[in-house]
Structure 1
Amino acid sequence: MRSWCALYVDAGYLLASVATRATGTSLRSGIEVDHERLIEALVAHATSSSGLPVLRVHWYDAARNSVPDQSQGKISLLPRVKVRLGRIGFDGEQKGVDLRIGLDMVAHARNAAIDVIFLVSGDDDLTEAVEEAQAQGVQVMILGVPGKNGDPHGVSRHLQGAADGLDLLAAEALDAVVSPRVGAAGKPALPPSQPQPPVPSPSFFATRRSASEPADHGTPSPVEQTSVRADPALVYSTRTGAAATATSESATAEEDAHIDQVVQRVLETWLRSATIEQREELLTGRPAIPRDIDRALLLDLSGLLGVYDLTDTTRYRLRARFWANVDRSQRAQRITLSARR
């Protein structure tokens, strides 16, 4: 019976990681990707590393109502590539992707369809699936993306410890197929000044359903103003728009520097490719931050701080700094336009 290897690709991890390598932020919309050549690089690595032919590439991503977008549709037409889609929930988070990866790995291992698994992911939640596949006699290797410093980007130590080994994709192969996305030349950084919504009273803190969720979805609950020391910046929940004041005790200078670094990179990357309509939507939707931008802000700051789950206070400060940078960009643009006149 012929031996095979197979690839199980968490597209969210892969594309966020190569985006970070190319632009300094995990914002997927900030990069151009030649998906066919990227998948060819994955196959070439798996074949070379294992000495076995690749049976199939399993590509896992999320989509609205599990309906593939244009890019996912093109990927599904590539030979020996199977696209498996989870869904995007009402809160903008992907649902069911990790579960699909784990179930497929274990099922294929039990059926003796493959001998070596290459898992392109860094998610700790897949650790148990890795161990179950190994119990069926299959070797499981993690295939990671190298950061600019050469270390694997975003791979859980727990997952790495459970796997049979960690390989890194060739940096030159990634750099050849991924590049920063740039929009049409001559666009202003942001549209001219827009009417701003009224600032809500800073006497409410937004609560969350779960401490592990990356976004705030709960109903604001009142707190006593005297219970905290007010920070000068108002902060907002990305969904409820509730304002709050952050405790100055937790706002260290080092954290502030990291927050500013993340916000600047994400905003600059997004602005390079955003259309005028998208920029206007950003401003008119304030204080809600678009999900892809908010996800990149949270993911990048978590990686920079080395913290898996950011505190509410840190999330609030991060979002406040984002809007402060948007305002600063608008002011700079108005000054430039006035000087030209």
Structure 2
Amino acid sequence: MIYFVFILAAVVVVISAVYLNQFGDVISKKSSLSGAAVGTFLIAGATSLPELTTSLTAVYIDNPDIAVGNMLGSNVFNLLILASMDIIYRRQRLFQKVNNKENIPSASIGLVFLLIIIFSLWMPGSIEIFGVGIEMIVIVLLYIFSMKFISGGESEQEEEELTKDYSLKAAVIGFIIASVIVFISGSALSVSGDRMAEASGLDASFVGSFLIAASTSLPELVAVYAAFRLANYNMAIGSILGSNLFNIQLLALTDLLYREGAILTSVQSSHIFIACLGLVMTLIMIFLLIRPASMRSHWRYAAPSLLMTLIYFVASYVLF
């Protein structure tokens, strides 16, 4: 029964999050909230709401491993989405058709965030300010400072084709309803994942990092697939890298609401392997962005993405 609840909650999260993204895009374009910065924040918040509700519920039921694993695992799964799409559409060579100057800063900042998290997980303790680890405060400050280096100007124009034409009133109502559904289903996903870990004997960090993370990242998969179908490769890469940065900020929010101390000091050491996996995959992603366009063979071009996919599944098997 608990497995049925988990699968049902995952399906509801995916469907409602896709609508949440559509409604949020309409609101950002048809209201006084329009503008690249606010629009990007609204869409990023909408897309990441499943991760947020799942992690907050995990904190509420006192399972920080699922909370941290969900955020780190979602970022890793997002990179797997890009690698998989790059392999499937290898003839289009998406990384050679995007504006690398817009995407390299996001990937580089994400790399710095992961280095900070790995160092914090490796260290035996943490300096806390009002119960929040200093590493999370540093990450938030770096994110705010780095926003001026991250371009968001083109994303709204490029996303317009993906959005259905709703009225502003309908979009607001739909956004609220979808948010409530995501909150409820995300909570059910976290609780059922916790029970599933207990019943099956699976490691809680594995459940959070792979099973729940994959479920909450499926809306990004739908959005990226739609962007690929429209040959809008710049939006596909930018949305994933931006979502990963936003997810780390949600991890900081989770730490703020976790009242047992710095959350990274309360989780299993296995999370450092998930963070290192994200670090390696991000490095490969940066290589793909800076690599010169000189590959004649389609499979030779796709080799880094194949390597990224292989690393992900090997790491999943080892942790399982």
Considering fraction of residues, name the structure with more strand.
1
**Which of structures 1 and 2 has the larger relative contact order (alpha carbons within 8 angstroms, sep 6+)?**
2
Question: With structure 2 as the length reference, what TM-score do the two structures score?
Answer: 0.28
- In terms of fraction of residues, the more helix-rich structure is 2
In the superposition, the TM-score normalised over structure 1's length comes to 0.26
